[in-house]
Structure 1
Amino acid sequence: MCNTGDIHINGLEGPYTMVLIDGMPIVSGLSTVYGLSGIPSSLIERVEVVKGPASSLYGSEAVGGLINIITKKPQQASRLSADIFGTSWREYNADLGLNQSIGKKANVLTGVNYFNFTDKVDHNHDGFTDMTLQNRISVFQKWNFNRKENRLLSLAGRYLYEDRWGGQTTWNKSFRGSDKVYGESIYTKRWEVLGNYQLPVKEKMFFMFSYNNHDQNSVYGDEWYLAKQRIAFGQLTWDKRLGKHDLLIGAALRYTYYNDNTAATELVGDDGEIINDASKMTMPGVFLQDEIKLADKHSLLLGMRYDYNSDHGDIFTPRMAYKWSITDNDILRLNAGTGFRVVNLFTEDHAALTGARDVEIEGDLKPERSVNVNLNYIKKLQLGDGNLLSFESSAWYTYFNNRILPNYDLDPRKIIYRNLDGHGVTRGISLNADLAMYNGLKLTAGGTWMNVFNKERNEAGAMEKFRPILTENWTATWALSYHIKTLNLGIDYTGNIYGPMRLALLSELDPRPEYSPVWSIQNIQFTWHGGDKWEIYGGIKNLLDWTISKSVPAIAEGEGAGIKSPIARSFDPFNRGVVYGSDGRIVPTSDNPYGLQFDPDGYAYGPNQGIRGFLGVRIRI
């Protein structure tokens, strides 16, 4: 309902991925939600995705992989750029970029992103908005300074403000926080500063730092969530080459402050009075990495990291990577290591915030620990003049201890969080192919098969295997591009397809399917190039008009009969028509024959937004 985005790599959710801007880490559990927002595409040179563990170098949040957003160098960026588009749903987006020289000493890249959507759309007629209304602005600025001997000094900053809400179509801000009309309203203020400074010494030494401040004011129905998060991070590295050894030695310090109005920061005093207890965590660490050139075609990377967490004590994470360049067109890589992640549920898991279920935390949550192995093989083939075909295949295995997962199954009124009394496994294989032909045709296609499961000790003491919710067994993606030179016209057809996911049902009588169907999102875009300075583009998103409502049966009987919605009891968001027994469980009645209660997010596995056209223009000076 709040349209919160996320990133999954190798079957792992967003908080397992580290996001960096020009190699500078955004150290925050919210980085995968907000870290990719608001940087104009005209300022981005490329985006690098590194799958597999990297905790030995970057610490927490680097279990699943890394995403590095690399911005353009001043000589590559346009003096002025603009990208403006709108859709048939009346969504409007504007990206503006400016490249300035400040004398001979510095260069500044400035980007502004603005997004606006204010139409209440309810195509499935369940009384709720199909798409979150949003008003968002983000300002990004990066300074590059010219120093003696080309030493690096780079500073970047970003500010984001967002006002978004979803809920009953009759909601307005006068109902914010009340039990009259249901709405989920989020005000977000976030700013961050990042920097990279090369020390003025002969040795190759760098100091990287970041600071982010996140302020969130949210309501979910009549439940308030007010939170502040501040994270400061600094890291000093020394890169030293000794013969066949390329050493990287470093020390890091991370400080995290978190405070909210939930049970996560409450402490019961001696007199029984509830006291606010903001979380303050300090984590110093040291690491060593050695890349060894074993032979012309073989290299080995060994790394280890030690951190001391003020709440959880000693954390040790080793890592090993091996690269074999069999030929110029054949490369084999093996990456293995351990990972750890300090979890903050209320900044990482949106489900913990919804007002529809009570959150229950069992015991003190310990950090998740993992062992990871990733095998990767790349093959390139030259097919005649100018035609190139490349394959990339990967296989991975991740084993978790202390994994923290939400349990929706034990009690439909609650989300229960606890460390798994057992272990979790994420494993899979993927194959991707890229074909580039001299006639302008490009094809990228890939498929991934995953097996994600947990094993936990049941009441009888035996280990029981189960599949977590919202994890698909397989997925595939493709992108087909063709450039018609005579017309200066580019055509792009992209899509993805997802296998079934297990979904959170509310009772044994819940009429909604336990597994999602196979579903696909497909898009087409046409781009006309008017020289080097401008282009016009347009097309259709979600060609198949797929939404979650397509897979949900209409309510057959009782109150709300005929409504077809993925939101359980959308007509009764404050559960006024729900009857509870003495044990607290829902009692089926003639008005509620399926024993359901309002649940806006438990069944959210795909989009609510259907087919739409878009049209835009890009200008570069």
Structure 2
Amino acid sequence: MYRFLLLLFLLFPLALFGQVQSGTLTGTIKSNDGPVAAANVTLSEIQKGTPSDEQGRFTMNNIKTGTYTLAVSAIGYKKHTQQITIKASETVTVDIQLQSKTEQLEEVVVTGTMRETFVKQSPVKVAVVTPKRLQQGKTSSNIMDLIGNVSGLSTQLNCGVCGTNAIRINGVEGPNTAVLIDGMPIMGALASVYGLNGISPSIIDQVEVIKGPQSTLYGTQALGGVVNIITKNPRTTPAFSADVYAKSTKETNINLAASPKSERFKGFVSGNLLRMQNYFDNNGDSFNDVAKRSRISLFGKGSLEGKTGEQRLNFAAKYYDENRTGGVRSFNHGLRGSNKIYGESIYTKRAELLTDYRPAGLNQQLRISGALTYHNQDSFYGTEHYDAEQGIIYGQATWDQSLSDNITLLTGLTARYQTYDDNTPATSGGTDKRFIPGIFGQGEFTLEDLTLLGGLRIDHHEKHGFVTAPRLSAKYSAGDNTTIRLSGGTGFRVVNVFTEDHAALTGSREVVFAENLDPEQSRSITGSINHILPFSGNPLTLSLDGFYTHFSNKIIPDYDQDPNLIVYENLDGYSVTQGFSIEAEQNFTVLPINYNMSFTLMDVFTEENGQRQALTYAPDYTGSWGLTYQQRALDLQIGYTGNLVGPKRMPDNYVQNFGRDQWSPTYTTHDLKVTKEFTNVNSENGLGIEAYISAENIFDYTQGSPLVDASTPFGPEFDTIYTWGPVIGRTFSLGARLNIR
């Protein structure tokens, strides 16, 4: 007993000494508009960080004594740095005032290099879009309705009856764009048809977009580019939020979210319910102009922090269930497969589970990620029954190593196992099973104003052997206001026609495979120049981008060989996407106005047997613009957005047999949204209430019927994809939003 007391007496001062060698940092981050939420607060020397909450407050505990560089960055604000000194058992409090900026250079991004970095420092150009920007002039719970506001991105309607659509980057077809969820390539080919419609802006923190092949990091599907959807950080979400709206189309939507938090655990759960069961036929083709839909989407995310506040374990789950129908007025789900009353009925169910783990004691250098997804589509397109299932198991481990102050190395191992089964001839021999292991590495070298990034990926496909995907990027900072980037890389993709191309299922054409389809391959080069013009405290950011992608073995559906067939074969030639884009963005500090605009000119064509032809459905040019005005005296925000779409070449069969135009006309659409704030969530009572009203497609522009031979939907000429413009006219929305701190 005496020995125990003596030992305790001797150890107590040591324990006390160990406890007092650390301190606490706390503070508040504000701007001229009030508290700044979701700001990144880091101590550079020890890579310790935390975000600010909805009130702009932050706290970091258990910081070892010493002097550090405190760095604070947030979207839309200039980066702030200052020196702080932590003393034993003391709390350091700082109040930080951030300055607004236009140039989007200080946001933290991960997509370009698979490690956190600032936009300006990334050797690969990454465009960052916030949910606020996506919803600047529109109201929707579907990201596919909003993504067209991003420069170079557009959505192509692939069916005028059931309303499926796809994302195009610089005119490249939708399946060539890899859509990631928190950096995980889990949106398989089947999910590209309807699965993207279940992603609501309410669960998004930001969207990161890279144009051009990114197969080195994200695998063989990223031929045209990457859209990485970063979900909300549970540490920065309000305790409770609700968003409800209704549209003049009789679409109603409700979104509820809650964020339970404890000392080391932060959570976020969200539920979205949409219903649209209205029939209207304004174009007079006897079909509903927009598919009826009932949809529920559930999302949950949790974050477990380490003892010192560092990231340790993140996990997320998502469930999506949608029923949609399109067709004539008398069609309903009970008539699925009818050969007398035409309609299309699609039941979609999708589940996702994601996890990300960073073991303790390794300074977050090792990152282990995994995902499990299940997708089921049970559908009838007239009498054509398509029932398919796809499952994906994905695992990835990366090691991030700094070899010196100028050299960093990232290495990784991946394994992807996917199964696919349907009721078409594609799987007549049984379930299609693919196991794709891979290894990749990239090195980054920085010497003063020059940064070089090189990488290589090697995947193994059972049918195609080893596939390599190299890339090389360079960034040069020609002064504080000018950045020049140049990148080159390759891509590789195995195509599944029935899951990716909706035209193979809808309408009455027969699908013909002229040969065994080889994988598509691409080579690409992109360049960009970013420059900031100060304009006396009202900086204007200008960007000029050029792009060129060469596709070989391109698989393009041929609608022109025979009006009753869709012929699939590898192009005996090549396909090219090339062009340039220019963007401008400015935020006036005196006037509460900011604006953005972009224009993309593109040449998308195929060349076969010496004949060059524009690719169908690819526009010659696109443009987008937006403006936001803050009327602070009335707590009003007015948002306006517009889109420009140039001519598209339409399939020859529609011209020759039905007298449709070979080229679609140039058109614009315009949207307006007004938001009124009644109380601010950062006020003393912690309650935020907003109401909003929007008018979309203000000038009521539509293309007319997207259907061909709509009067005989069971006939051999019926088709649903003469689609080039809006099919829904002017729409009004009214909604309200509640946030509780």
- If the length of structure 1 is used for normalisation, what is the TM-score? 0.89
Identify if the C-alpha distance between structure 1 residues 341 and 78 changes in structure 2 by more than 3 Å, giving closer, same or farther. Answer: same
Cα-to-partner distance string for 1:37-76 (whole Å, 9 max, x where unaligned): 4455344322221222210111122222222222333332
Identify if the C-alpha distance between structure 1 residues 45 and 78 changes in structure 2 by more than 3 Å, giving closer, same or farther. Answer: same
User: Which of 425, 428, 434 is 1:263 aligned to?
Assistant: 425
SS in 2 for 1:24: coil
- Whether 1:436 aligns to 2:576 is no
Distance 2:301 2:173 in 1: 29
Write out aligned runs for 1:355-434 (5 A): 355-385=507-537, 387-434=538-585
Deviation of the 1:201 alpha carbon: 4.7
Write out aligned runs for 1:464-613 (5 A): 464-506=611-653, 508-532=656-680, 533-549=688-704, 565-575=705-715, 597-601=717-721, 603-613=722-732
Give 1:455's aligned residue: 607
Give 1:278's aligned residue: 431
Matched-pair identity in %: 40
Deviation of the 1:381 alpha carbon: 1.5
Deviation of the 1:490 alpha carbon: 1.0
Distance 2:369 2:408 in 1: 20
The answer to whether the 8 A contact 1:42-1:81 is kept is no
Deviation of the 1:351 alpha carbon: 1.1
Distance 1:152 1:346 in 2: 40
Deviation of the 1:30 alpha carbon: 4.4
Give 1:220's aligned residue: 381
Amino acid at match of 1:319: R
Deviation of the 1:148 alpha carbon: 4.1
The answer to whether the 8 A contact 1:182-1:573 is kept is yes
Give 2:269's aligned residue: 110
Give 2:101's aligned residue: none
User: Which of 228, 231, 252 is 2:414 aligned to?
Assistant: 252
The answer to whether the 8 A contact 2:264-2:307 is kept is no
User: Which of 389, 392, 410 is 1:231 aligned to?
Assistant: 392
Structure 1 stretches lacking a partner, 5+ long: 267-275, 458-462, 550-564, 579-596
User: Which of 185, 199, 215 is 1:55 aligned to?
Assistant: 215
Distance 2:376 2:333 in 1: 19
The answer to whether the 8 A contact 1:18-1:32 is kept is no
Deviation of the 1:506 alpha carbon: 2.8
Cα-to-partner distance string for 1:386-440 (whole Å, 9 max, x where unaligned): x121011110000011111110011111111111111110111000100110211
Structure 2 stretches lacking a partner, 5+ long: 1-160, 681-687
Cα-to-partner distance string for 1:441-490 (whole Å, 9 max, x where unaligned): 11111100000011112xxxxx2111121011111111011111111111
Identify if the C-alpha distance between structure 1 residues 200 and 35 changes in structure 2 by more than 3 Å, giving closer, same or farther. Answer: farther
The answer to whether the 8 A contact 1:40-1:112 is kept is no
The answer to whether the 8 A contact 1:39-1:113 is kept is no
User: Which of 129, 147, 153 is 2:306 aligned to?
Assistant: 147
Distance 1:233 1:451 in 2: 36
SS in 1 for 2:426: helix
The answer to whether the 8 A contact 1:39-1:111 is kept is no
Distance 1:202 1:174 in 2: 58
- If the length of structure 2 is used for normalisation, what is the TM-score? 0.75
Distance 1:78 1:21 in 2: 22
Amino acid at match of 1:292: F
The answer to whether the 8 A contact 1:223-1:355 is kept is no
Distance 2:352 2:203 in 1: 18
- Whether 1:296 aligns to 2:296 is no
Write out aligned runs for 1:59-138 (5 A): 59-101=219-261, 103-138=262-297
The answer to whether the 8 A contact 1:53-1:335 is kept is no
Amino acid at match of 1:434: E
Larger helix percent: 2
Deviation of the 1:297 alpha carbon: 0.6
The answer to whether the 8 A contact 1:133-1:165 is kept is yes
The answer to whether the 8 A contact 1:19-1:35 is kept is no
Deviation of the 1:34 alpha carbon: 5.2
Distance 2:306 2:603 in 1: 51
User: Which of 157, 172, 178 is 2:338 aligned to?
Assistant: 178
Distance 2:324 2:242 in 1: 24
Deviation of the 1:504 alpha carbon: 2.0
Cα-to-partner distance string for 1:564-583 (whole Å, 9 max, x where unaligned): x33122111111xx6xxxxx
Identify if the C-alpha distance between structure 1 residues 437 and 235 changes in structure 2 by more than 3 Å, giving closer, same or farther. Answer: same
Distance 2:335 2:258 in 1: 41
The answer to whether the 8 A contact 1:115-1:135 is kept is yes
SS in 1 for 2:369: strand
The answer to whether the 8 A contact 2:266-2:303 is kept is yes
The answer to whether the 8 A contact 2:234-2:301 is kept is no
